Amino acid sequence: MINGILQGTPHWVWFLLAYLVFIGVKARQPGEVSLVKLAIVPVLLTGWSLHELTRLFDPTPGAVGLWLLGAAVGLGIGVALVRRLALTADRARGVIAHPGDKTLLPLVLATFLVKYGFSVMQSLSPGALRTGWTGTADLVLSGLFVGIFLGKFATYALQYRRVREPATSG
């Protein structure tokens, strides 16, 4: 059964996993990154999550509320994970320098595994996510992961905005 699941997984999923591992490993090292690059994972994850919300669930107030609850909690977690990092920004070059983010790799792997697990569950039992604890867990966890990545990004973006532009003489 596991072999069938792995073989039935679209190839793009494995490319996505490889990309997530690559950026997670790269982020562990100190470096500089632009806000645009920092936005890639939150934007992709938010889009994927909202697509799944509308595809698998009727976007009822209850379903959206569960997703938003997870996102609100995740936002706080994301801010807490990044706010203590020694970040510096160079607006002239459009980059943020960071000391290395040890949280990105475990977060992207956890997100991937949870999303993959719920996708497998949905393919094996198409109605499974629409009822009971599995649907609730999928909605809350999807929102949670989106919130974490948005919270981290927002913290980086605020740090970037706090840097004053150099005064021009003229």
CA distance 44 to 111: 12
Residue 166: predicted pLDDT = 52
- Exposure string for 71-104, b = 16+ CB within 10 A, e = fewer: bebbbebbbebbeebebebeeeeebbebeebebb
CA distance 135 to 144: 14
Closest to 49 measured CA to CA, from 59, 62, 35, 39: 59
Residue 129: predicted pLDDT = 67
Residue 45, Cβ neighbours under 10 Å: how many? Answer: 23
Q: φ, ψ for residue 93 (rounded to 5)?
A: -95, -10
Domain residue limits, the chain: 2-162
Q: What is the pTM of this model?
A: 0.87
Residue 91: predicted pLDDT = 85
Q: What are the average pLDDT values for consecutive 10-residue runs of the chain, which has 170 residues?
A: 76 89 93 91 91 84 94 97 87 89 94 89 76 86 96 92 60
Question: Residue 75 is inside which H or E element, if any?
Answer: helix 61-82
CA distance 170 to 165: 15
